[in-house]
Structure 1
């Protein structure tokens, strides 16, 4: 607001001259003011003394000082309303918000930074980080080949190829490329208590067996019999067929023992194939201890259940099978990759084959705690079911 060159005392004295009988034109000519200025003074300060005029001028000055912060505050609120949306937290988001305020609301950069609550140096910062184009391309290629792998396993694969970087950088690039894996929600599974049963950390200490079901493109269903070494996490066998009976399970286990050796214990659920007379007779003939988990508690066979979920997530849900031969070849390729190439988190991101070779190289003596990468072997459920079994009478 432009400051008047006349003080309050001068204005009141000029008005008093007019009240004393002087003509308006003579007063304006004498003091070199226009008639409009005179009548504005008269409307504003008419009938006031000097103290009242000073008080009115002080109130006007104070009002002018208050109006400017109020107007700026209202402008800031209007600008912030235009920025409603995701939270302005990261430096990149703050730089973008400042650019919007400067371009759309014609704010100065300093004021825009004050509105956002950030420092001008961070807004003006120009990143010097390399774009890592080759690394990003390889990360996308690996994620496309193994679509159900998270950034930790992809990081292990990148390090194997000599692309050395820390895990946090792998995670950052993984998120920036939008490669996050959508988790599939499954049914909640009942958990049960387990009786302590020591299992030594060596191959063939304990096997787990279970079935996985899927279907072909034409709707026909097929089954997969999985046999897992609970210590090395290796998939020893994955038998694919449209129907697998108890006798077929016995034949497959016999062939597997001839190649791998006899296990100390086999764990399974109460499936009809495992409780059939053929399997009861086979366990007595082969001299293999067989343990059934408690009914309704699949997590007592958790290692095999975890393997089944990985097979479901990475292979069965990602592949369309067109026949039995196609299914067998696809499952065989995936099992070979699982044993030899896929890093396993519970083994310190070693492969099951490498971990088994490490245990073999350390000798056959029992080891349960002195291996840095050896995770505790989960004991099976109640020992009360490990007992001699006799075939049911056929008469």
Structure 2
């Protein structure tokens, strides 16, 4: 049988025994044989433990244990650092992200589930729990995707408003989570808007106070499939955001502007102010004279300051983004029909963020009382 490895206390005792025997006159080789070890072992012990007392031996053992503990701590910290480095960048706010991150860390570094969960702050029961969506989630996602196909330029907030209008009891956060999970379009970044301020801090922009207070109108240019250009005259009620009319023709001049405004004045009455840019069709003497004659006032924006006509400029951008950029018009008549259908949809169905995600002029159903009149 192999000899058991001697403990440090036994080694120190045997070294002391050899020193005592040598002090009594015994040759060192005989004293070494008496403790039952070879000379090589004796001198190796002596080199390591020579001259060491019991207290010193205890202190050595304590330092060895402390050194081992520190070594393990450094090893643990190094492993934790590797785990955190391997984890996804940024904050792992949701259990699902931490769950996916822990699986990747375990696969890459080969650490245990317990260690990875402790380092990344995930409870093991949460890690093992398989997420289950709601029972209606598949139908909700299907409706979201169908609405995205139908209205390709809508963001998740506007899609959520359309879903609620259709009867779904969902909030924006749930729609946003499913929106990102399905990899749907992220709304484009809004550009910064300039402002025109006076020295006293007040803005000189005229703001509408009620319906039919301020109308604004502007032109939008587009082309049919054969390359020929056409223009649209967009007339907007700034307070309600309702698009009052869109006139589509190859050429639109001051006479066409007066004709379009005449139709609207007959149907809706005369607004207090009409805002426009400084285009030749709008500042023409005939247009200004006619507007003054019917009792309205003109409000031209400053040259080079399109933000003063922000309501109409915003509408033009939505029209180009949601309609003109995605449609191919083969004839002017086709453009007139499609643009008019979109105008009706914009007024009656499309949710408007500035109106609490309600349409500018929603359709109403008036039920007439069919009961006979009693005399």
TM range (shorter): 0.7 to 0.9
1:323 aligns with 2:331: yes
Which of 13, 16, 19 is matched with 1:16 structurally?
A: 19
**Aligned-pair CA distance for 1:227:** 1.0
Asked whether the equivalents of residues 351 and 358 of structure 2 are also in contact (C-alpha less than 8 Å), the reply is yes
Asked whether the equivalents of residues 14 and 35 of structure 2 are also in contact (C-alpha less than 8 Å), the reply is no
Which of 3, 7, 11 is matched with 1:4 structurally?
A: 7
Asked whether the equivalents of residues 190 and 298 of structure 1 are also in contact (C-alpha less than 8 Å), the reply is no
Asked whether the equivalents of residues 92 and 98 of structure 2 are also in contact (C-alpha less than 8 Å), the reply is yes
Asked whether the equivalents of residues 277 and 303 of structure 2 are also in contact (C-alpha less than 8 Å), the reply is yes
TM-score by length of 2: 0.79
The Cα offsets for residues 289-326 of structure 1, whole Å up to 9 and x where unpaired, read as: 33323333333333222222221221223333343233
Asked whether the equivalents of residues 207 and 229 of structure 1 are also in contact (C-alpha less than 8 Å), the reply is yes
Alignment match, 1:59 = 63
TM-score by length of 1: 0.76
User: How do residues 270-289 of structure 1 correspond to structure 2 at under 5 angstroms?
Assistant: 270-289=278-297
Alignment match, 2:123 = 119
1:40 aligns with 2:53: no
1:93 aligns with 2:104: no
Asked whether the equivalents of residues 233 and 352 of structure 1 are also in contact (C-alpha less than 8 Å), the reply is yes
Distance in structure 2 (CA, Å) of the matches to 1:51 and 1:257? 108
Distance in structure 1 (CA, Å) of the matches to 2:311 and 2:337? 24
Q: Secondary structure at the match of 2:275?
A: strand
User: How do residues 282-361 of structure 1 correspond to structure 2 at under 5 angstroms?
Assistant: 282-354=290-362
Distance in structure 1 (CA, Å) of the matches to 2:100 and 2:14? 54
Which of 135, 140, 151 is matched with 1:146 structurally?
A: 151
Q: Cα distance 1:90–1:216, how it changes in 2: closer, same or farther (>3 A)?
A: same
The Cα offsets for residues 245-264 of structure 1, whole Å up to 9 and x where unpaired, read as: 11111122223333333334
Alignment match, 2:173 = 168
The Cα offsets for residues 168-224 of structure 1, whole Å up to 9 and x where unpaired, read as: 21222223223243425658545353377884x34x443221111233445443211
Q: Cα distance 1:13–1:183, how it changes in 2: closer, same or farther (>3 A)?
A: same
Distance in structure 2 (CA, Å) of the matches to 1:276 and 1:125? 72
Q: Secondary structure at the match of 2:282?
A: coil
Which of 236, 241, 249 is matched with 2:249 structurally?
A: 241
The number of aligned residues is 352
Distance in structure 2 (CA, Å) of the matches to 1:57 and 1:15? 23
1:214 aligns with 2:222: yes
**Aligned-pair CA distance for 1:338:** 0.4
Q: Which moved more, 1:164-173 or 1:288-297?
A: 288-297
Distance in structure 1 (CA, Å) of the matches to 2:334 and 2:188? 27
Alignment match, 2:276 = 268
Distance in structure 2 (CA, Å) of the matches to 1:63 and 1:140? 61
**Aligned-pair CA distance for 1:71:** 2.7
Q: CA RMSD in A?
A: 3.3
The Cα offsets for residues 348-386 of structure 1, whole Å up to 9 and x where unpaired, read as: 33222238x69xxxxxxxxxxxxxxxxxxxxxxxxxxxx
Unaligned ranges ≥5, structure 1: 359-395
Asked whether the equivalents of residues 148 and 181 of structure 1 are also in contact (C-alpha less than 8 Å), the reply is no
**Aligned-pair CA distance for 1:163:** 1.8
Distance in structure 2 (CA, Å) of the matches to 1:268 and 1:80? 58
Asked whether the equivalents of residues 15 and 46 of structure 1 are also in contact (C-alpha less than 8 Å), the reply is no
Q: Cα distance 1:338–1:115, how it changes in 2: closer, same or farther (>3 A)?
A: same
Asked whether the equivalents of residues 189 and 298 of structure 1 are also in contact (C-alpha less than 8 Å), the reply is no
Which of 62, 81, 98 is matched with 2:85 structurally?
A: 81
Where does structure 1 differ by over 6 angstroms across 4 or more consecutive aligned residues? 195-198
Unaligned ranges ≥5, structure 2: 198-202, 366-375
Q: Cα distance 1:3–1:268, how it changes in 2: closer, same or farther (>3 A)?
A: farther
Q: Cα distance 1:11–1:98, how it changes in 2: closer, same or farther (>3 A)?
A: farther
Asked whether the equivalents of residues 193 and 307 of structure 2 are also in contact (C-alpha less than 8 Å), the reply is no
Distance in structure 2 (CA, Å) of the matches to 1:47 and 1:292? 104
